[in-house]
Amino acid sequence: MTPQEVLQTYFGYDAFREHQQDVIERLVAGSDAFVLMPTGSGKSLCYQIPAVIRKGVGVVISPLIALMHDQVAGLRENGIRAEYLNSSLSADDAARVEEKVRSAQTDILYVAPERLFTPRCRRLLDDMNIALFAIDEAHCVSQWGHDFRPEYLRIADVTRQFPKVPRVAMTATADDVTRREILRKLELTEARQFISSFDRPNICYRVRLKDNGKRQLRGFIRDEHAGETGIVYCRTRRRVEEVALWLEEQGINAVAYHAGLAPEKRLTAQKRFAREEGIVVVATIAFGLGIDRPDVRFVAHFDIPMSMEAYYQETGRAGRDGEPADAWMIYSLGDVVAARQMLMRSEGDETFKLIQQRKLDALLGYCETMACRRQVLLRYFGEVRDEACGNCGTCRSGGADAWDGTVAAQKALSAVYRTGQRFGAQYLIKVLLGQEDERMQRFGHDRIKTFGVGGELTAKEWRSVFRQLIALGFLTVEMDRRAGFVLTDKSWPVLRGEQDVQFRKDAAPKKSKREKRPEMDLDPTASDLWEHLRKLRHEIAQGLEVPAYVIFHDKTLKEMAVQRPATREDLLQVSGVGETKADRYGDQFITAITDWESRSA
């Protein structure tokens, strides 16, 4: 079969996406490849199709043991003979799998890296016919990354024994340094590299000011994502539990996840996230690697992440299926202060802290940007876009308003300086507004030049000024004591009148309106049928103990609801329906559609 035929027959898709065909052809021809493409761009197909075409078994090395079961189930639903070997299998089951692999009754075998080096697995590799090696999440080889897996360093020792077998390494996260590290440590320096844009066009990036975080979050979920699956990231464990509980009280199906939970609880949360429709996981960053669900409709940041890398990776878990998804974040002056302080208190030498500081600066700059958010995000990763995207908060609201904040900045910085760089926003704003109290009198701050000069702005507007000054690096936060604000090198040019400052006008907290994107919406008739089909899918998935998307993706189901296929041939036209699924579920879905039509006629 040709790659195109496999794509249609097994996966039910019409056309390849960028790079897929090139990678596949290369592997089929027996050469190596390195694939750097963002989440959701279709990396798996790049090794799955050659594994089907080439003689022998494609060996996929993946650290995501928890996902293997569902990945294999998904492939089998497409008619591909897939197996896995990891520590969750009993000895008997493992022996059965090995037998199938040895007797060439398998197309794809998933293996946990630690398994690869066992003498038993070595014997298996020697006895079998290997079609290719696919090394998934290749960035795990990097000692500097947070997903480092020591076993990954030994993968090359194994693949070196099979010099004729083509190899492909894949990742969605790699800066230049990491990329070179991957190629070197996996001995792939000769491999052809396929690198895609980091853009995730279906994700809409939005950042809002936090005023009542929980209520804003509830509004966002209820108005825009009712009954859908999402992830809410919080910084601390305590906040995770608090927010999860609160959402549950509000009637939203939510579950908490953080590293401090008992292992059984974590496992339950993970299982629920993998299986349930319309579940919201509230989590710390510990909830990360291993989230493979394609239909996550939103990622909400209740607290700001510490870097653009983290933000990109966390938001990237939304919308892997290519359907519209939201990356939504709220933040406040308090968060900015807390993030800066957390960094300064963290362990590590000065250089390390400086790097972390720069990373946080970039993220804060992104929060406060007046430009298209996607442009800023991509520029951080070295991609320059001339056009605004049209699908971010800034673009959709017609651009952010700026105001000349030079004088306000001078007043605020001067208030900091003249009160001895010891106080936080609350006190400083009182000084600026001329609201003396007993403490202020005691310090004599009611007599300084800055006292009462800030009447042109409200307390709330002054908070916005301080937040932006800190975010933009014109002020920083004292390390010890009580988070007093301190001037930086950047403060002086402003105070001396040598530099202008532009501030972003904070959008008035709108009553959150329904902002659903049209392409996501089906007309009422189609959406009634879609609900029907969803129920059917749910029953089938439960019976088989697999996630619903393993049966059909949302996109496929929606297309069915619109096109209403009446025959097997019609059904095969729907994207995501291959021969095997048409055989297995065609009748059930066609019957459901005809029944629904006769009932609603």
Q: Which residues bind ligand ADP (CB under 6 A)?
A: 13, 16-17, 20, 37, 39-45, 294, 320-321, 553
CB of 13 to ligand ADP, least distance (A): 4
Q: Going by C-beta distance under 8 Å and a sequence separation of 6 or more, which residues neighbour residue 216?
A: 208, 210, 330, 509, 512
28 in contact with Zn ion (CB under 5 A): no
Q: Which two tokens stand for residue 479?
A: 């390390």
* Contacted by 320, from Zn ion, ligand ADP, none: CB < 5 to 8 Å by type: ligand ADP
What's the closest the beta carbon of residue 27 comes to ligand ADP, in angstroms?
A: 15
Asked if 193 and 59 count as a contact pair (C-beta separation under 8 A), the reply is no
Query: Using an 8 Å Cβ cutoff, are 301 and 233 in contact?
Result: yes
Which helix (H) or strand (E) is 326 found in, with range? strand 325-331
Q: Positive or negative, the Cα torsion across 85, 86, 88, 94?
A: positive
> Which residue shows structure tokens 């305590």?
238
Distances (CA, A) of 539 to 77, 179, 250, 572: 15, 43, 27, 22
CA distance 515 to 348: 44
CB of 464 to ligand ADP, least distance (A): 38
Residues 112, 86: contact at Cβ < 8 Å?
yes
Least CB distance to Zn ion at residue 402 (A): 16
DSSP-assigned states of every residue in 489-554:
TTHHHHHTT-S--EEEPPPP-PPPPP---GGGPPPHHHHHHHHHHHHHHHHHHHHHTS-HHHH--H
151 burial (CB, 10 Å; 0-12 / 13-18 / 19+) is: middle
Distance CA 168, CA 465 (A): 50
Which one of ligand ADP, Zn ion, none interacts with residue 54, CB within 5 to 8 A by kind? Answer: none
17 binds, among ligand ADP, Zn ion, none (CB under 5 to 8 A by kind): ligand ADP
Q: How far is the CB of 537 from ligand ADP (least distance, A)?
A: 15
For residue 311, the minimal CB distance to ligand ADP (Å) is 18
- Least distance CB 289 / ligand ADP (angstroms): 12
Contacts of 452 (CB under 8 A, 6+ apart): 431, 432, 433, 434
- For tokens 């996607």, the residue is 374
Cα gap 223→217, rounded to integer Å: 10
* Part of the chain binding Zn ion (CB under 5 A), chosen from 218-226, 231-239, 384-392, 411-419: 384-392
Q: Decide if 126 contacts 168 (C-beta within 8 A).
A: no
Residue number with CB closer to Zn ion (336 or 389): 389
- The interface partner of residue 53, options being Zn ion, ligand ADP, none and the CB cut-off 5 to 8 Å by kind, is none
- Please give the Cα distance from 82 to 6 (Å, whole number): 15
Is position 392 an interface residue for Zn ion (rule: CB under 5 A)?
Answer: yes
Which tokens sit at 242? 């608090």
CB of 308 to ligand ADP, least distance (A): 20
Tokens of residue 270, six digits: 């993970």
Nearer to Zn ion, 357 or 369 (CB): 369
Tell me whether residue 58 or residue 393 sits nearer to Zn ion (CB atom): 393
Q: What is the smallest separation between the CB atom of 566 and ligand ADP, expressed in angstroms?
A: 24
The yes or no reply on residue 372 touching Zn ion (CB under 5 A) is yes
Residue ranges with strand state E in 187-263: 192-195, 203-209, 230-233, 254-257
Say whether residue 80 binds Zn ion (CB under 5 A): no
Helix H, strand E, coil C: the string for 265-290 is HHHHHHHHHHHCCCCEEEECCCCCCC
Choose the one of Zn ion, ligand ADP, none that binds residue 372, judging by a C-beta under 5 to 8 angstroms depending on kind: Zn ion
Provide the 8-state DSSP code for 212. S
Residue closer to ligand ADP, measured from CB, 42 or 58: 42
Report in angstroms how near the CB of residue 294 gets to ligand ADP at its nearest: 5
Q: CA gyration radius for the chain?
A: 27
Site mask for Zn ion (CB under 5 A), range 327-366, x = bound = ----------------------------------------
Nearer to Zn ion, 395 or 557 (CB): 395
Q: State which of residues 217, 389, 413, 541 lies at the interface with Zn ion (CB under 5 A).
A: 389
Task: Report in angstroms how near the CB of residue 226 gets to Zn ion at its nearest.
Answer: 25
CA pair distance 39, 291, nearest whole angstrom: 11
Shorter beta-carbon distance to ligand ADP: residue 173 or 178: 173
- Please, what is the minimum distance in Å from the beta carbon of residue 452 to ligand ADP? 57
Handedness of CA 226, 304, 178, 118 (dihedral sign): negative
Chosen from ligand ADP, Zn ion, none, partner binding at 86 (C-beta under 5 to 8 Å by type): none
Among 61, 65, 232, 395, binds Zn ion (CB under 5 A): 395
Residue 526 binding: pick among Zn ion, ligand ADP, none (C-beta 5-8 Å cut-off by kind) = none
In the complex, least distance from residue 387 CB atom to Zn ion, rounded to whole angstroms: 9
Closer of 67 and 252 to ligand ADP (Cβ) = 67
82 versus 372: smaller Cβ distance to Zn ion: 372
Position with the least CB separation from ligand ADP: 42
CB 378 to Zn ion: min, Å:
10
- Binding-site size for Zn ion (CB under 5 A) equals 6
The answer to whether residue 400 forms part of the interface with Zn ion (CB under 5 A) is no
If contact means CB under 5 to 8 A according to the sort of partner, which of Zn ion, ligand ADP, none does residue 295 touch? Answer: none
374 binds Zn ion (CB under 5 A): yes
Angle 119-122-125 from CA coordinates, rounded to 5°: 155
Which listed option, ligand ADP, Zn ion, none, makes contact with residue 395 (CB within 5 to 8 Å by class)?
Zn ion
- Name the residue nearer to ligand ADP (CB basis): 43 or 532: 43
* Contact between 443 and 451 (Cβ < 8 Å): no
- Applying CB under 5 A, the span of 46-54, 337-345, 380-388, 498-506 interacting with Zn ion comes to 380-388
Find which of ligand ADP, Zn ion, none residue 37 binds, CB within 5 to 8 Å per kind. Answer: ligand ADP
Residue 108 interacts with Zn ion (CB under 5 A): yes or no: no
Can you give the binding site for Zn ion, defined by CB under 5 A? 372, 374, 388-389, 392, 395
